[in-house]
Every structure is written in structure tokens, then in C-alpha cells.
Amino acid sequence: MTHDKKTIGIVGARGHTGTELIRLIAAHPALELSFVSSRELDGQRVDAHVPEYRGELRYSAPAHEDLPKLGADVVILALPNGKAAACVEAFDQAGVDPIILDLSADYRFDKRWYYGLPELARDQWRGERRISNPGCYATAMQLSIAPLKDLLAAPPVCFGVSGYSGAGTTPSDKNDPEKLRDNLMPYALTGHMHEKEASFQLGVPVEFMPHVAPHFRGLTVTSNLYLSRQLKREEVLQRFHAAYAGERLVTVLDDAPWVSRIAHQHHAEIGGFAMSTDGKRVVVVATLDNLLKGAATQAMQNINRAIGVDEYTAIPLLQDTSR
């Protein structure tokens, strides 16, 4: 049975997203984990850290140049920004061409790589084997803005708040529960990487102000959109329902979504749609779990498509999308 499966390896799997990916892969009928690299966990059993994984595999710490020798059909790069190129170069030098999915920002501006936000870029898929996974905030911003992009009268202004898992596992003020207690911590208030990413992908300037909150996972983005002509709220809702009809990982709500409801869920929720009295300004709220639809789940959507199975394979879907 395992001969029918594609082998998949993760480079840099110690982080929160790496753990979520292992959980998704463990439940996947067409994927088999072949290596999981982590310098800090080298030699330890994977199932000791991710109980959902049932297998004998241990974490390893291969050098970049040794990655092509491991023979994986699919390789996920779960490394900090700026670290992916050395791995990609190792595969190029060795003449080995697995499907490579990069979770960092390193290739999100590279037109040679497929930008994998399926709900907005599905029709641009050309069978690419190099996939850049979108950022968590950038996903929420683009999903909030895209259905009204043709009617924007000014740059969208987006206020974001994320749980501290978004700051990664390397200790800092932004993931220190003591410093975050009863606090909301602003950072990178201009020029954030996801501001640049959303602007680049949408083709319109986006202004973004991120904050970190004391909760662990889940983010919310409130987007203020000025419109070039008057719209009724029903027309705005209709645009969003039309844009995401049939999308099983985007739910359009009437009310504004809450972060507490999105933790551990694999979809994004978009709602609110508060209109100004003149009908030329709308405020849209989007939530998603930054580790799932903002990272691991979106990666699995892209990998599923790249290996030719149903896009939602092994992704737990919300049963009732009408709430």
C-alpha cells in the first residue's frame, strides 16, 4: 500500500507550523512522511512530540546539500525568512526536482513560483512544482479585499491582531506570555512583509498595522475599504458570496467573526460588512487560524493539487457552513 504513496519531507519542523503539518500528513492517505529535519530535536522520535503520528521516524538534521539524496517526492521548507534559497539551490545543483513548497516569504514575490492562495489563484495554476505558501495575515487581507478590488477609491487600511504563535518559537517579547498579559503589542506598523505581499499580489497598495495579543493562535484583520461608488450592504454581501461560492475553506458570515471561534479550525471566516451611511465605505472582518489556513492547511491544499488528489484530502472540513 505504501508504494502508492508519495513521500514527503519537512525541513525545519520544530516550529508550530511543522507540528500542524505532521498532524495533517499523518492522516493523509496519499502521503508518507520520509524525513523531518530539526537540529534541536535531532535523534528524538517524532511521535514523542506529535502523538498523532504513528511511526518509527526520528527527527534528523541533514545538511542542505544532503537533502536531494533523501529522495522525497515533496519537500516542505518550514524555515525562517531568508533561509530557503540554500535548500532550493541544493536541489537545483543536484538536478533533483521534487515538488517544493516554501512556507517563508522568500519566493512570494518571484513570478517563477506559483503563489498558492487557492481561492484567489486557482485559475493561475500551471502545474508548477515550486509553490510559495502565502503569509497568514496576507491571506486574510487578500480574501477581505479581492471581491471589492475593482471598486476601491483609496488604499485599504487593515488593522490586524494575531495570537503569539505567529511570532514563532524563538523567544522574543512578541511570544512572551508575561509581557503579553493584559496587553496588545503593536509592531512593524509600516512596511510589514505581509503588507508588501498583499499589495504585490492584489496589485493595489495595502496599508497594514499588526499587533500581537495574549492568546496563542488565531488572527483577525479588520479592513477599512473606501469605495468609488455607492453600494448597498446586500450588494457587498452578494459579491463575497459569489467570490467564495463553493469554497470549502472560506465561510462568509453576516456578523463579524470572532477569533475564539476560529482557533483549531481549518477555514477562514469573513463577515461584518458594516457600511457607512453614504454607502461608500465598508468595513470587513476576517479571521483564520494562523497555523492552519494561515500556514499548514493552505500548504496541504497546495500539495494536494500538486500531487493530483482532491484539494481537501486530509483537511478536516467544517460540517455546517451556514452558521
Contact 73, 99 (CB under 8 A): yes
Domain match, 146 and 276 both? yes
pLDDT at residue 22 greater than cutoff 80: yes
Domain ranges, residue 9 = 2-106
Q: Is residue 316 part of a domain?
A: no
Q: Which residues are paired to 32 by β-bridges? A: 7
Give the CATH number of the domain where residue 272 resides.
3.30.360.10
Relative to beta strand 99-102, strand 130-132 is parallel
pLDDT at residue 323 greater than cutoff 80: no
Tell me how many domains the chain contains.
2
Mean pLDDT, residues 1-18? 84
Contact 266, 293 (CB under 8 A): yes
**Residue 278: per-residue pLDDT:** 98
Measured distance CA(84)–CA(104) in Å, rounded: 7
Measured distance CA(269)–CA(251) in Å, rounded: 5
Measured distance CA(241)–CA(217) in Å, rounded: 27
Mean pLDDT, residues 12-41? 94
Q: Which residues of 97-108 are buried (b: 16+ CB within 10 A; e: fewer)?
A: ebbbbbbbbbbb
Measured distance CA(99)–CA(67) in Å, rounded: 13
Give the CATH number of the domain where residue 24 resides.
3.40.50.720
Q: What angle do CA 83, 84, 86 make, to 5 degrees?
A: 85
Could you tell me the pLDDT band of residue 319, with boundaries at 50, 70 and 90?
low
Mean pLDDT, residues 128-155? 98
**Residue 15: per-residue pLDDT:** 85
Mean pLDDT, residues 245-265? 97
Q: Is residue 317 part of a domain?
A: no
From 74, 105, 136, 295, active-site residue = 136
Q: Is residue 36 part of a domain?
A: yes
Domain match, 76 and 191 both? no
Q: Is residue 214 part of a domain?
A: yes
Task: Name the grid cell of 247.
Answer: 469554497
Mean pLDDT, residues 19-23? 96
Mean pLDDT is lowest, of 77-81, 215-219, 317-321, for 317-321
Q: Is residue 319 part of a domain?
A: no
**Residue 145: per-residue pLDDT:** 99
Domain match, 180 and 279 both? yes
Domain match, 175 and 67 both? no
Report the percent of the chain where pLDDT is more than 90: 92
pLDDT at residue 320 greater than cutoff 80: no
Q: Which residues are paired to 9 by β-bridges? A: 35, 75
Domain match, 264 and 150 both? yes
Contact 244, 268 (CB under 8 A): no
pLDDT at residue 240 greater than cutoff 50: yes
**Residue 322: per-residue pLDDT:** 38
Q: Is residue 9 part of a domain?
A: yes
Measured distance CA(36)–CA(53) in Å, rounded: 12
The reply to whether 136 belongs to the active site is: yes
Domain match, 95 and 193 both? no
Domain match, 144 and 263 both? yes
pTM of the model: 0.96
pLDDT at residue 1 greater than cutoff 70: no
Mean pLDDT, residues 184-189? 96
**Residue 321: per-residue pLDDT:** 41
Domain match, 142 and 101 both? no
Q: What region does 23 belong to: left with phi over 0, alpha with psi -120 to 50, or beta?
A: alpha
Q: Is residue 39 part of a domain?
A: yes
Q: Which residues are paired to 132 by β-bridges? A: 102, 115
